[in-house]
Structure 1
Amino acid sequence: MRIGFIGAGRVGYTLGKYLSLKGLDISGYFSRHSEHAADAAEFTDTRYFESIVDLINESDAVFITVSDNAIGQIFDDIKCYPEINGKIVCHTSGALSSEIFRDSPYQVYGYSVHPMYAVSDKYTSYKSFSNAFITIEGSPEHLEEMIEIFSSSGLKTGTISSDSKSKYHAASVVASNLICGIYGFGKRLLMDCGMNSQMAETALCGLFRDNAVGITEKGVVSQLTGPLERNDTNTIRKHLDVLESEDRNLYRMCSMEVLKIAKEKNKETDYKEMEDILKGGDC
């Protein structure tokens, strides 16, 4: 299968480079910004296409690797080309489903292929892309073939239904982007204690990294420690007493999720008093 890319951003660079290194046949890149497509083609040792129709002709599968807002527009531009008939068309959005590819007068096999991975740099992210989890949904006709492309390249894969995409993406955001917010919350509290920004980040770095590694290696239930897990209500009260209203509410909401994990870990422990404190009934 020959794979072509419309759009030359971080995901397009990373996917093209990673898959080409794994031996897949990458036809090349087209972009409305021709200099980006030319650079991506050079980076992946593939071809730069000046015509989007030529790229479609030279590809069995076309990956639209542009921003979410532009995916529909790009498909509107290509869906009436006869050359699209019988092609596999994919996007890499976590939020959008394959339903966006339904409206074409030709037979198109649509898929969303989302890497659950933070692609932060277009030139280097491919080096650790083997850590990505690829979530696929779309037309049943080529679903197994799409799974095989990525699983044979050393990537873990899974499938979901198209109507689950929004909740799936919310889960990805919670476990990735929102963690940055929680980390920033902790950093801000340390700065309130008198640390400067660099000292606060240095203090948190090892704790955060080791906790993240522990979760991935042992699972979140086994990794959980701390005052909430050991049912230390006095310490939790002290935390809530020193936090301002907005911070206190955030601490409570996050702690309610942690409490669910603690209950799973310590099934014999009575967390009723702790739950009352977190719900605001007893501070």
Structure 2
Amino acid sequence: MEPPSGPASRRHVPWSRLLLAVSLLTFWTPPTTAQLTVEAVPPLAAEGSDVFLVAHNVTKIPLGYGWYRGERGDNTQLIASYRVDNDATVYGPVYSGREALYPNGTLLIQNVTQKDTGSYTLLVTKKDLQTEIQTGHLHVYPVLPTPVITSNNSNPREHEDTVVLTCGSETQNTSYMWWINSQSLPKSTRLELSEDKRTLTVVTVTRNDPGPYVCEARNPVSVSRSDPFTLDVLWQENSRALGVGAITGIVIGLLLVLTPLALLGYFIFLHRQMEEPSGDRFTLEAGLQAPLVLQ
């Protein structure tokens, strides 16, 4: 009697069915609960504005909420907590009086300042006492004032002095732009910008560099442009061209020289008239007075 070729219970499954099963397992994933998220509205806040830290995908009818400064639920950094069932709010150590907590878990911060920039953590407690935690971030920027252009030398001398122009006071997270004569900066080896573009250097100024110059300061929440600034470049006239002062000096000099010469010539003329011989005059006068003799 021959031994059996294999176990009677083993069956060969077609490869097509195996591939179908694998593909179904690959593309099918069990449904998951949406994750708790925190969104700042607006995401970039101007100083003095109001900001909402909105809670998304909060579990239905939770037991309560808690908001904290920082990236964890530290009771020493509690802003406020809210219990849903009795509508009770408890304020924590870092509550400033500008925060309000809504029943849906959203936190309002009024009249924000740059000191409010940072992380905020929401802790949600469910009815089964399980918790969810999520951190959001708030960015607050100042509203930029009108920048004022300052100069190290407002009256530079042509071909001698280098002028450094500065756009307003230094502010973080601010970019700068410059214009000359209402146009963007031309490419020139005599125009140099600092790394942050806040400072413009004009090397060895010429009479063609008076401006006006305008700068712009910009951050994520505001844009501000300066008033025009003009340089008073001091320069000398070309030596071949005579100025009014030089011409006046020459005229006066000529008059001082020519006037004595004219007077001297006049006196010489008079002197010569006075020295003319008297005999010639007598002969002429005698000839005029002699009687005419008739023969």
TM-score range, shorter chain: under 0.3
Q: Which has the higher strand share?
A: 2
Q: Which structure has more RCO (C-alpha within 8 Å, separation ≥ 6)? A: 2
Q: Which has the higher helix share?
A: 1
Give 1 or 2 for the bigger CA radius of gyration.
2
| TM superposition score normalised by structure 2 | 0.22
